[in-house]
A = this chain, B = another copy of it.
Amino acid sequence: MRPLFHPAIEDVRPEAILHALADPNRAAIFAKIMRAGCVEACSALAAVGDRVIPKSSLSNHFKVLREAGLIRSERHGVEVRNSSRWAEVEARFPGLLTGIINAYASDAGADSADATAAGPR
């Protein structure tokens, strides 16, 4: 197991963030990590809405979010804790995450992701 690479905040690219959050599952996971007081184990997020996401897909989603610079993951014994890098990303790209999370939230009335009420962190 490789030691979990995180990009420095100045290496974070907007296209990576958009790509990561263009998947509603990942956007929902990210929104949940933000709202959940900032730390969540991977397995706590296995279900998004009514759909169960297989472990291998989940693992990949976390990798994409991590490498986009959106979350920070640390191994704590047997589990991995994820925290959002909201503040850093917001400082680098002001308004970007807010706009995206609000867009999903305002769309959620119609269907899908439980990304309701985008309170920052």
Contact = CB atoms under 8 A, between A and B. Distances in A.
Interface residues of A, number: 25
B95 A99 contact: yes
Contacts of A96: 99-100, 102-103
A13 B15 CA distance: 18
Chain A interface SS verdict (over half): helix
Interface in A81-103: 92-100, 102-103
A34 interface: no
A31 B15 CA distance: 14
Interface string A16-29: 01110111100100
Interface in A52-100: 92-100
Interface of A: 13-15, 17-19, 21-24, 27, 92-100, 102-104, 106-107
